Structure 1
Amino acid sequence: MKHVYLLVFVSLLALTERVLMKTTCGPGYSIDRTQCIDYDECEDEEVPICGDNAVCYNTNGSYYCHCQKGFNPPGNFKSDTPTKCQDINECSEYSIDCGPNASCQNTVGNYSCTCDTGYYPNNNAETFMDRQGVRCIDRNECEEDSGLCGINARCHNTPGSYYCTCASGFRLRSGQTNFTDPSTDSCETDKCYNTSICGEGFCNNSKDGHECVCKPGFTNYGQKQMKCTADICYNNKSICGEGSCKNSNDGHECVCKSGFTNHGHKQMKCTDINECDNSGFCGMNAICNNTVGSVYCTCAPGFRLRSGQTNFTDPSTDRCETDKCYADKSICGEGVCKNSNDGHECECNPGFTNYGHKQMKCTELKCDTCSNDLSKHPELTNIGSLMTKTYLSLSGKKELDGESFLKAFLDALDDLLSKKIKDNSAVIITQIFAIVESMLKLIGPMLNNNQTKMSANQTEVDMWVKWGGSPPDGPLMMSANSTQFTSNWKTATGKPHLGFTTAALLGYKSLEKSLNSYFDNLKKPENIKYEINSKVVTVVVSNAETKHLQEPVTLTFSHLKQMNVNHTCVFWDHELGDGGWSTRNCTTVRSDANETVCNCTHLSSFAVLMALYDIGYVYELHVITCVGLPISLICLLICIATFYLVRSIQCTRNTIHLHLCITLFIAYFIFLVGITRTENKVGCAVVAGMLHYFFLSAFCWMCLEGVQLFRMVVLVFNTTVRHIYLVAAGYGVPAVIVAISAAVNKDGYGTEQHCWLNLKDGFIWSFYGPVCVIVIVNVFFFLITIWKLAEKFSSLNPDLNNLRKIRTFTITAIAQMCVLGIMWVFGCFQFDEATLPMSYIFTILGCLQGVMMFVIHCCLSKQVRDEYVKYLASVSTPQKRKYSEFNSNQTSKSQTSKSVQNTGESSI
């Protein structure tokens, strides 16, 4: 049992030891068997734990550091903090006062005082900290080192320093007054110390040693270190005569002025040179004139200097040439000849001009149009003012710019031609052509280039000018606005030759529209009318006699309209009273559809006329109209009665047919009765207005027919339109158009030939505009209708033979074309005079439109034919029921038929 207790005790002891061995100590302590003891961090570390300049202090379980004296920061810290001991700069931190002539020097952990340069402490110590009894006294460098300044120098002590100066008779090499470092500067002999070294001058020290500045009247000949002696040039002003005296080593030297010489002897006085001793000095045709120190040349009589000067001195740059003003008194004509740099210059007298070319002979300035009274025509004021300004400029002396004048003239002409030229204004046209001819003659000689082409909005011009003493020769060709002019320079020049020849071809881009009249002087049959078929051109040359040329000129015109009709060459004849087109002395050489070639023996403004056959006077068309219209009136009257009285066929579409027949009947009747009643202008205007209204109304009903057909094809049901809407569209729309047209241009109704709309100024488009729109719309509806009809014929009658289908389809198509007014498309070709076949087609279809409506909508309609038979039967057999009774008895049957038509209206 004892052994058991012992075993238990031993086990408990071992367990207790194990527990004690696992015990851990806190920071700053270490385990000593079973105890925790303090760990001395300050001794065990191989490297001081507090760093440099610090002391480590151990404590129980820890430690702390403290900076040594003279280091920051104050207080305690540990090594694991970022704080480190830094040296304290006592000199700046504590403002250490080291006394006079001393300064504080910081050291690691401390400081010291040192004397300034040039001073030393009285205790002979190098440094000191306690200034008690210590002071810095001046060091006498001159006594300490007798050779401090070197030879020929004296030392001068100063508080804290010293300086050196040169002894008498010596000077610093650098030119300074004192120095401190003998190694960089030294004293040398002062030459200026000897006052006689510069003679009659002043000695100045310099880097090179010395420098002599001479007194007035003395010189050292530019040698600065040489003694000053008497100046010969200064004391004897006339020693060189007409030259400048310069001192030299030999005494003096004379430099002669231009035109003087001393013959190579430098010390000899300068005398004048006589250049005229050289007989060829001035060259040919010149006279030499000697002057003191110079010379000049003048030209002999009959000669002048090329430069225009009166004399010259250098024959290589100027020479004498023939004086044209002196040799030829008539060189300037009616002008004054003056010599110039270019040879001579002509200054013209009033009324004469040389067109800005100074060397050209002055000729009389002729401008017949300039004297015309243009005040009666305000539209010519601007271009007349420009013409006068050009005339005055030619009479002046200033330089002329022909291109600028030409551009200004074309701009003024543009402004004039862009305005509407009133009817019966042949006088204005004559004035315009006269002004153009005068201006081109005035501007031509002002141009600098041989050929000038210029274009504006309304005109295009091709101008030529040739200069020379003799007349130019050879062919002359110009072109403008698709017109070519061919002649020769001899014809353009004429006699006398003025020193130049000009030619101009001016084409008007749109003047032919304003000149499509004034044909009264031309003989023509009653059924012929003329129209200009080319651009109008004006030809001008410098030849004054152009009314009867010895050789004819040729003009080739391109046609505005390519037509194989008779063309006639004409010109604007100024001698026909107010002016007008004439064929006098102009022949047509060749003409085809594209161009016409003309030969004329005079010059003016030209054009080409084409003779057109006036289709309005064709007898056959007149017969067709007189026969066809009455027949159509009868047929339209029957159609009106049928559509109005036969109730069984009444529907929206036939209502449109009824009003279409009424408007066409009234329009045709007025046309047949009043179209030629032009003797009364007011009545003629009323007839034209009524025709305008009823024909437009007829087209509006045709448009409603097209709309209704479209509704019937697209909308199978509910195709009925209220009557009030139809009337408003059929009669209201044309009323508005006619009212606006009459308000804008009431004079557009009625012409001299017919009571219809005036073709001028586009007034006819107040009718043709709406008509074209309606025809285009109806063509669209027509194509849709034909397409749908073709489908229905194939689907409703599949067993019907092709021949009957084609016949039925063709008749139906013609009926729709007639009702829709599509045959009026042929009327659009009436603007072209070369469409006589179209005129026949249009006249026939137009006159017989009423007949076609009667045949298709009445005769070819089985329902209408049955009604006609019943009506005729009731009239011829009195005992039977009357037509009106028949209609009333058939009400029940007609209702069914009418309802079908009002909804579908598929029966065409």
Structure 2
Amino acid sequence: MECGKELLLLGFMWVVAKGITTCPNGFISQGRDCIDQNECADPEDHCGKYAKCFNTNGSYYCQCLAGYQNIRGSVNFTYDGQCQDINECTDHENMCGPASLCSNTFGSYKCTCRSGYMNDTSVSGQGNCVDINECENDELTTDLMADSLCGVGTCKNVDGSYWCRCPKGYTNYGNARTPCSELDCDSFIAPGTSPSPSLSGLAAIFSMMKTSCLALSAPTAPEEGKTDGEALLEKLFTATESILSPVQLLDRGEDVTDLLHTVEDSIRFIGPQLKHNSTRIETTETDAEIAVQKGETRPTGPVSLTGENARLDTDWDTASGTGPYPGFAMAALLSYKNLDKYVKKSFDELRAQEKGNADPSFHINSKVVSVVVSNPATENLSQPVYITLRHVEASEESEGLKYMCVYWNDRGAWATDGCSRQEASNATHTVCRCQHLSSFAVLMALYPMEHTFGLQLVTRICLVISLLCLVMSIFTFAFCHSIKGTRTTIHLHLCICLFVADLVFLAGISQTKPVGGCRFVAALLHYSFLGVFTWMLLEGVQLYRMVVLVFNATMRPLYLYMFGYGAPLGIVIISAIIRPTGYGTEQYCWLSLKDGLIWSFFGPVCVIIVMNVLFFIITVWKLALKFASLNPDLSKLHKIRAFTVTAIAQMCILGLMWVFGAFLFEGAANSALAYIFTILNSLQGALVFVMHCLLSKQVRDEYAHFFSCICTPEKKRYSDLLSSTNPSSSQSQSQGSRSGQNTGESQI
């Protein structure tokens, strides 16, 4: 302890001897004196950002800069980071005045004049915004000026804004700060008197639009000029739906043109009155999407409208145009769900364009759509528009099928000028690039296949072979007494019908001139081929009676003739009365594919094939049961089985031929399909001869006997001599023959 005290004393004495002084906090040593330390001059910022440092004797304190406040509430502090920005715009009401907008900044705030006001430098301090008199420099004139705020209207200044009062015949569609646009209410005038019932519906639309137009064109103040575009749009589409309902008929191209123009003009009139930027409305007959942009400056950028059946891609520059800007721009895409059925025959101009080339048939393969914009000049657009149309029937383009982009012109017909089909098109959609706006659709052109020399040669050779075979079959069934019976009668008349059909097909299928002769050829082909299938049905019925009834399976020839020739005749007569112009087309002397007349042939054929399939199923089932019985009549069953096989093969060949024929006449055929159809069609007679004559043992025996008689006349005379000397043998053979005829189907 004594040693420690001594050491401390020695240290203090050393400091005093050296002249060193120890100073408290806030002071620094200077020689033997302690002087104040200026903390605010130190490189280290003691107060932090947004604060000012003040030095004191032996210490310092901080104060927040203007626009900031101490988050701890005190004015003076010595801690870093306590200053926070003051939001004058929220802490003080009306900081900039009612005509200004307050914007907070770090440590301060900024006042900006509202629209319709300007900064008045003669007023000191904040809130120096005064009303702009927009009407003061506006030229009031009776002519429509491009640089005039209200056009021909009267400009009225109000605090912070202005509004335009339009004279009679002009409107700003309820938008007070929009220039007045001229209204041509006289354009909503119904067409003249016409017998078309659809015009009564158009007259109702014209009357409704004109009444709304006159009401809108009356001079009004802004608060009185409120419009209800949504309600008017709904009324328009309700009236359009009644026109396109099944009760009405648009049987003329002029009626369709009037309807399209009326709806387009109405949408162009209603569009600026809509409250929302995008409006969509759908009915059972129409589907529309409308886009509207309003403002003091012309809108820019792309526009894309999409519906169930179409899509529009354009831009606002195209929609608004290059003329005086009326304060709004509009684009609309309207799709008609069933209008295509009224415009199926308006292809005269397209056929004239194809004159000299392969004459195609045309078919609308999309819904009809209309594109409407506020731009009044759409005949020659500076930028093209793109319309994507969905196909009603999805099909790839091929040698005989082409898609075309068409529009409805003022002459009431489809045309192609100004529209082209883009490479982005596929089997389900077509993209049309058009330089003008109208009503558009996708046209499917079916080009008739150009028959090559080889195909024509094959057709003629096969048909000649078929006709020769049918002649031999007819003579066989007519004069071969050993096979006489109901089945043979059916085969005979089936061959007669097929012979007539092949002969007429060979001679007249392509003889389209004169029209009357072509129609007769088409009706005769219709009747002959229906006869073939009718006798096929009788064959199925006879087969069913043979297997199921067993006894009394024959049918009276009179009944066979009445049904075999009467049923096809009745169908042809009814079809000719209902669709007399459907017989004969511009390409073939056959049934027209339009208006469903072709089903007067395909319908009965399908029914006959289905019925025969049922008969054949029952027959095969019964045969299986008979073969399984204990004592079957194998000879007769084998013959019935052979009959069944040939009947099924015959039905398959004839039915398969017309499956290919359906695709060929639809225009979607290629060369391979055409050859298949030609060969199957042309060799039917040969196939019938092979199945019913050459494959029949009885017929072959008759042929062998016939040719043996020709080649060996001496033997024939010897047999005749025996027959004359043995009357009992001749009588027994005659009885056996009659027995075979009486039993009918016993000698199959």
TM range (shorter): 0.5 to 0.7
Deviations 1:62-115 (A, max 9, x none): xxxxxxxxxxxxxxxxxxxxxxxxxxxxxxxxxxxxxxxxxxxxxxxxxxxxxx
Deviations 1:861-890 (A, max 9, x none): 111111122222333444454899799774
**Corresponding residue for residue 276 of structure 2:** 449
Task: Measure the CA separation in 2 of the matches of 1:402 and 1:533.
Answer: 33
Task: Measure the CA separation in 1 of the matches of 2:433 and 2:655.
Answer: 50
Deviation at 1:708, TM superposition (A): 1.1
Deviation at 1:392, TM superposition (A): 4.4
CA contact (8 A) 2:527 2:572 kept: yes
Q: State which of 414, 426, 432 in structure 1 corresponds to 2:241.
A: 414
Q: Does 1:390 align with 2:217?
A: no
CA contact (8 A) 2:371 2:438 kept: yes
Task: Measure the CA separation in 2 of the matches of 1:528 and 1:882.
Answer: 66
Task: Measure the CA separation in 1 of the matches of 2:451 and 2:339.
Answer: 28
Deviations 1:800-835 (A, max 9, x none): 9xxx99x98997476443587565344444565435
Q: Does 1:872 align with 2:707?
A: yes
Give the counterpart letter for 1:614 in structure 2.
Answer: P
**Corresponding residue for residue 309 of structure 2:** 482
Deviation at 1:769, TM superposition (A): 1.8
CA contact (8 A) 2:540 2:647 kept: no
Deviation at 1:483, TM superposition (A): 1.4
**Corresponding residue for residue 564 of structure 1:** 396
Structure with greater strand share of residues:
1
Task: Measure the CA separation in 2 of the matches of 1:816 and 1:540.
Answer: 59
Q: Does 1:349 align with 2:167?
A: yes
Q: State which of 514, 532, 538 in structure 2 corresponds to 1:680.
A: 514
CA contact (8 A) 2:467 2:502 kept: yes
Task: Measure the CA separation in 2 of the matches of 1:785 and 1:641.
Answer: 29
Q: Secondary structure at the match of 1:591?
A: coil
Uncovered stretches (5+) of structure 1, i.e. residues with no partner: 1-282, 286-302, 304-319
Q: Does 1:468 align with 2:286?
A: no
**Corresponding residue for residue 684 of structure 2:** 849
Q: Secondary structure at the match of 1:590?
A: coil
Give the counterpart letter for 2:364 in structure 1.
Answer: I
**Corresponding residue for residue 894 of structure 1:** 737
Q: State which of 534, 542, 545 in structure 2 corresponds to 1:700.
A: 534
Q: Does 1:650 align with 2:477?
A: no
Deviations 1:261-285 (A, max 9, x none): xxxxxxxxxxxxxxxxxxxxxx999
Map 1:502-901 to 2 at 5 A: 502-516=330-344, 517-518=347-348, 519-520=350-351, 522-523=353-354, 525-526=357-358, 529-565=361-397, 568-572=403-407, 574=409, 579-584=413-418, 586-615=420-449, 617=451, 621-786=455-620, 812=646, 815-817=649-651, 821=655, 823-830=657-664, 832-836=666-670, 837-881=672-716, 890-895=733-738, 897-898=740-741, 901=744
CA contact (8 A) 1:533 1:608 kept: yes
The alpha-carbon distance between structure 1 residues 808 and 777, as it changes in their structure 2 partners (threshold 3 A), is closer
The alpha-carbon distance between structure 1 residues 521 and 816, as it changes in their structure 2 partners (threshold 3 A), is closer
CA contact (8 A) 1:778 1:820 kept: no
The alpha-carbon distance between structure 1 residues 766 and 902, as it changes in their structure 2 partners (threshold 3 A), is same
Task: Measure the CA separation in 1 of the matches of 2:516 and 2:301.
Answer: 63
CA contact (8 A) 1:547 1:603 kept: yes
**Corresponding residue for residue 327 of structure 2:** 499
Give the counterpart letter for 2:339 in structure 1.
Answer: L
**Corresponding residue for residue 70 of structure 1:** none
Uncovered stretches (5+) of structure 2, i.e. residues with no partner: 1-96, 100-115, 117-129, 141-147, 219-224, 724-728
CA contact (8 A) 1:571 1:604 kept: no
Q: Which moved more, 1:331-340 or 1:430-439?
A: 331-340
Task: Measure the CA separation in 2 of the matches of 1:884 and 1:480.
Answer: 89
CA contact (8 A) 1:749 1:756 kept: yes
The alpha-carbon distance between structure 1 residues 587 and 866, as it changes in their structure 2 partners (threshold 3 A), is closer
The alpha-carbon distance between structure 1 residues 684 and 596, as it changes in their structure 2 partners (threshold 3 A), is closer
Deviation at 1:648, TM superposition (A): 0.9
Deviation at 1:857, TM superposition (A): 0.7
Q: Secondary structure at the match of 2:313?
A: strand
Deviations 1:571-609 (A, max 9, x none): 32637x654321425351422223233333332222333
CA contact (8 A) 1:636 1:851 kept: yes
CA contact (8 A) 2:186 2:210 kept: no
Task: Measure the CA separation in 1 of the matches of 2:304 and 2:608.
Answer: 52
CA contact (8 A) 1:540 1:604 kept: yes
Q: Secondary structure at the match of 1:570?
A: strand
Deviations 1:427-454 (A, max 9, x none): 4444443333322211211222221111
Task: Measure the CA separation in 2 of the matches of 1:809 and 1:648.
Answer: 16
Deviation at 1:323, TM superposition (A): 7.3
Give the counterpart letter for 1:452 in structure 2.
Answer: T
Q: Secondary structure at the match of 1:498?
A: coil
Task: Measure the CA separation in 2 of the matches of 1:345 and 1:385.
Answer: 34
Deviation at 1:661, TM superposition (A): 1.4
Deviation at 1:347, TM superposition (A): 4.7
TM-score, scaled to structure 1: 0.57
The alpha-carbon distance between structure 1 residues 367 and 681, as it changes in their structure 2 partners (threshold 3 A), is farther
Q: Does 1:365 align with 2:188?
A: no
CA contact (8 A) 2:654 2:684 kept: no
The alpha-carbon distance between structure 1 residues 738 and 638, as it changes in their structure 2 partners (threshold 3 A), is same
Deviation at 1:336, TM superposition (A): 4.6
CA contact (8 A) 1:782 1:817 kept: no
Task: Measure the CA separation in 1 of the matches of 2:669 and 2:366.
Answer: 20
Number of residue pairs matched? 582
Question: Relative contact order, CA 8 A, sep 6+: which one is greater?
Answer: 2
Which structure has the larger Rg over C-alpha atoms?
1
The alpha-carbon distance between structure 1 residues 377 and 450, as it changes in their structure 2 partners (threshold 3 A), is farther
Q: Secondary structure at the match of 2:745?
A: helix
Task: Measure the CA separation in 1 of the matches of 2:188 and 2:158.
Answer: 33
Deviation at 1:687, TM superposition (A): 3.1
Task: Measure the CA separation in 2 of the matches of 1:605 and 1:563.
Answer: 23
CA contact (8 A) 2:360 2:445 kept: yes
Map 1:116-515 to 2 at 5 A: 328=138, 329=140, 330-336=148-154, 346-357=164-175, 360-366=178-184, 370=188, 374-375=192-193, 378=196, 379-387=198-206, 389-396=208-215, 397=218, 400-418=227-245, 419-422=248-251, 425-495=252-322, 496-515=324-343
Map 1:62-81 to 2 at 5 A: none
The alpha-carbon distance between structure 1 residues 816 and 754, as it changes in their structure 2 partners (threshold 3 A), is closer
CA contact (8 A) 1:454 1:461 kept: yes
The alpha-carbon distance between structure 1 residues 863 and 664, as it changes in their structure 2 partners (threshold 3 A), is same
TM-score, scaled to structure 2: 0.68
Task: Measure the CA separation in 2 of the matches of 1:619 and 1:367.
Answer: 64
CA contact (8 A) 2:406 2:443 kept: no
The alpha-carbon distance between structure 1 residues 530 and 744, as it changes in their structure 2 partners (threshold 3 A), is closer
Task: Measure the CA separation in 2 of the matches of 1:526 and 1:892.
Answer: 65
The percentage of counterpart residues that share the same residue type is 44
**Corresponding residue for residue 294 of structure 1:** none
Deviation at 1:472, TM superposition (A): 2.0
Task: Measure the CA separation in 1 of the matches of 2:461 and 2:739.
Answer: 42
Deviation at 1:487, TM superposition (A): 1.7
Q: Secondary structure at the match of 1:551?
A: coil
Give the counterpart letter for 1:902 in structure 2.
Answer: E
Deviation at 1:514, TM superposition (A): 4.1
